[in-house]
A = this chain, B = another copy of it.
Amino acid sequence: MISCKGDLKTDVAVGVVKNIAELDEAISKAKPGDNIVLANGVWKDVQIKFLGEGTEKSPITLKAETPGKVFIEGVSNLEIAGNYLIVNGLYFRNGYTPTGNVIAFRTSEEKVANYSRVTNCVILDYNQLQRDNDDLWVQFYGRHNELSNSYLAGKTNGGPTVRVDLKGVQSIKNYHKIINNHFGPRPRKGGARGETIQLGSSFTSMSPSNTTIANNLFEECNGEVEIISSKTNFNEIRNNVFYKSEGSVVTRHGNYVTIDGNYFIGDGVNEQYGGIRIINTGHWVTNNYFFNLKGKSFRSPLAVMNGIPKSPLNRYNQVTDVVVAYNTYVNCSAPWQFGVGTNIAQADVLPKSEIRSARAIRTTVANNVVYNDKGLESIVVENDKADGVLFKNNIVDNQGMKFKDFDSGIIPASLELKKVSENILIPIGLPSDVEAYYGFDFETIENDLFGNSRKDSKSIGAVVGADFTNPNILDKSKYGASWYSNEIKAIDPVTHTVTKSEELQTKIDAASNGDIIAVAEGIYAISKSLVINKTLTIQSKGKAQLVFSGASNTPLFSLQPKGKLTVNNMILKGNASNYAFASLKENMSNHFGLTVLNSEISDFNYVLRAYKQSFSERVTFENTSISDCENGIELSEETNDRGDYNTEYLTIKHCDFNNVKQNVVDYYRGGYDESTIGGNLLVSNSTFTNCGAKEKNKRLFNHNGIVNVNINNNTFKNNNVKFVSILWGAKNNVESENTVINSGQIKTEENLVMTLMY
């Protein structure tokens, strides 16, 4: 475990401070060795500036009276500057920062912190009111600072959760440490700028950072395609656990990063869980373990990208001088992909400065072990030729299936799996006649995944030997704040029965997260929007009918932050001018959700209207009929062309659409960004009749820029449009088994001209 605690004298209490005035006073008087103690309770709307000059042996500490009982809420933040300062035990929740960061290691451009630490803290759901208001939760400046043993989760707005900033010589060669933290779930953001950790930026990509990210647990960090975006030099990413996280560790800019001894754990199903994506020069990927990852292409366990020749500063440099050694891959769908992101085929629609044609060179892949319980067609997927790569002494059990062996650099073998824990299965029984290849500087790979010495061992793969101790990588008590756990006891949902209109909102308000509102059979007149701000199911047995007479352009169900609604077996009727479902127009500080099952929806202006800056991870309609509406499902307000969109998954199955006049399906993502690989539209086994009559662009489905589209087994009949859909051929847009009668056609355009995001 890495730490800079040492032999500290931190036990001189200055007394408990009870408000910001007392706190400021205490800070201004603090001497080395002082403890400033924040009284338990809620500290609302406080901007704390912690300036001080501690010493190595006698730091100044700002701590909670009881760790976890000091709540920083409202419009609040913390800035730290000086030397040898420690912050311990604070809990940020129910609010957001008035500045660009919740915790910053500086108080002004000149005054940065050095040798300072934030530890044992929690930041939870501390989101700006609007998704496009980007901020950071922890922003590093200066040198030798640390974020340790903290829990951060629930960031929904734009901006990495943690960023190391290098602008200015005070912040280079910083040797910061981000260690022993628990990065809890970060929901899909629906576009870029959702990294969990970013180290520098392309503008500082020439700078030495020397930041260490070690021994952290990343759990469901799904914000975007990059979990860690390393953009500077000489960083070390060691011994972390990436658990069911929809993204990758990416060496986006900068060079000479060490990625050693990490665990990447998938579930064998979800294709969004990634591994390590490599760009640039001189990285070493060693001793890592990859399990049950189904990601491909950008999200492969090892994705080596093509570069742009003489790339601009903010684009893709060629991969050179990379070493991938002593890693183990178990049951991954595409362990190694090279030439990822090659886009030579799109030369017609992209400027020359965007064409990634420079293949990896002077790259070595050696001493790795791959085990597949089902044989793969290729061990190495060559999106472009891997002819600049030296493969040496890699051992693969591909269940006897043949594969390209790169001059015998990949050697077939028959291995066994030895179970160390539920997610760690180690291939053993490696052929004794194949010794590890000894490449240049390989003697610097001193230990294996479990920390055992490689000295005197010729062993291949992430671990030496065959006698293993369970490292308990998912024991959450090893990570984050000592006083906080994100493990929630399962509680059986309570069912609240509604028999009268006026009970609906009151029962909804009284219900707890996860509860069920059971509506008795009958017709309910509703005149005011029902507010949904928690996870709820509203259902009936006999198709209860809600008739909404609310004002024009107001929704029957107002889907507010954290409002995740399931409607099951209901009939919803409007007055032609109002909506069935809508997000708030603004201040959607957290995501909503919507699932509609076995229901009937009719006579609305909009079925669903998602406003700009609102986001739902999923929007699902199943076994539902939608008829006589002016507009259908509207998810197209993110028109800034920065890669953002309103839902990750829009799913329509076994539904009937009839007489929906426009925006039947309107789903938009704008901005060219090869690594925004989101937006998912599935429409299957549904019928569309007499729809799209008022659609201005004569397309029934609009899904411009959505990367994954699957339209299958539907029937389109008498829709007065020119196209049911125009698919984006270069991306994952497909259709099959559709019946199109008097409804135009389904067309595929290979390339889509889009605005460049950079």
Contacts and interface: CB of A to CB of B under 8 A. Distances in A.
A46 to B, nearest CB: 30
Interface stretch (A14-22, A306-314, A534-542): A306-314
Nearest to A110: B440
A654 interface: no
A436 to B, nearest CB: 18
A626 B120 CA distance: 90
Contacts of A440: 169-170
A206 interface: yes
**In the complex, which of the residues A167, A206, A313 has the most CB atoms of chain B within 10 Å of its own CB atom?**
A206
Interface string A197-215: 0000010001110000000
A170 B758 CA distance: 35
Contacts of A170: 440
Interface string A280-318: 111000000000000000000000000000111111010
B168 A362 contact: yes
B312 A281 contact: no
A280 B313 CA distance: 12
A321 interface: yes
A320 B206 CA distance: 11
Given A206-B317, A255-B207, A256-B208, A282 B312 contact: no
A441 interface: yes
Contacts of A167: 320, 362
Nearest to A284: B169
Contact of A441 (B169, B206, B323): B169
A133 interface: no
Contacts of A255: 206-207
A758 B310 CA distance: 10
Interface in A251-294: 254-256, 280-282
A313 B310 contact: yes
B314 A310 contact: yes
A230 to B, nearest CB: 13
**In the complex, which of the residues A281, A353, A362, A758 has the most CB atoms of chain B within 10 Å of its own CB atom?**
A281
A172 interface: yes
**In the complex, which of the residues A312, A317, A362, A440 has the most CB atoms of chain B within 10 Å of its own CB atom?**
A312
Interface residues of A, number: 31
A313 B167 CA distance: 20
A268 B310 CA distance: 40
Contact of A312 (B168, B311, B323): B311
A308 to B, nearest CB: 9
Contact of A313 (B207, B233, B311, B441): B311
Interface in A310-355: 310-315, 317, 320-321, 323, 353
**In the complex, which of the residues A170, A255, A321 has the most CB atoms of chain B within 10 Å of its own CB atom?**
A321
Contacts of A168: 321, 362
A317 B312 contact: no
A587 B402 CA distance: 57
A169 B317 contact: no
A168 B390 CA distance: 13
A280 B580 CA distance: 57
Contacts of A353: 312, 353
Contacts of A312: 310-313, 353
B280 A206 contact: yes
A315 B233 CA distance: 21
A351 to B, nearest CB: 10
Contacts of A441: 169
A281 B206 contact: yes
Interface in A158-208: 167-170, 172, 202, 206-208
Contacts of A280: 206
B172 A282 contact: yes
Interface in A436-476: 440-441
A199 to B, nearest CB: 15
B313 A282 contact: no
Interface in A706-758: 758
A108 to B, nearest CB: 14
A362 B167 CA distance: 9
B313 A317 contact: yes
A641 to B, nearest CB: 19
A682 B396 CA distance: 72
Contacts of A758: 310
A576 to B, nearest CB: 51
A473 B210 CA distance: 39
A282 B169 contact: yes
A564 to B, nearest CB: 41
A281 B321 contact: no
Nearest to A166: B321
A629 to B, nearest CB: 47
Contacts of A311: 312-313
**In the complex, which of the residues A169, A314, A315 has the most CB atoms of chain B within 10 Å of its own CB atom?**
A169
A441 B315 CA distance: 32
Interface of A: 167-170, 172, 202, 206-208, 233, 254-256, 280-282, 310-315, 317, 320-321, 323, 353, 362, 440-441, 758
Given A169-B362, A206-B233, A206-B254, 6 more contacts: A169-B321, A206-B255, A207-B281, A310-B314, A310-B315, A312-B353
27 contacts: A167-B320, A167-B362, A168-B362, A169-B321, A169-B323, A169-B362, A169-B441, A170-B440, A172-B321, A202-B310, A206-B206, A206-B233, A206-B254, A206-B255, A206-B281, A206-B282, A206-B317, A207-B281, A207-B282, A310-B313, A310-B314, A310-B315, A310-B758, A312-B312, A312-B313, A312-B353, A313-B317
- Rank and list the top 3 A-B pairs by shortest CB-CB distance, nearest first: A310-B313, A310-B312, A206-B255
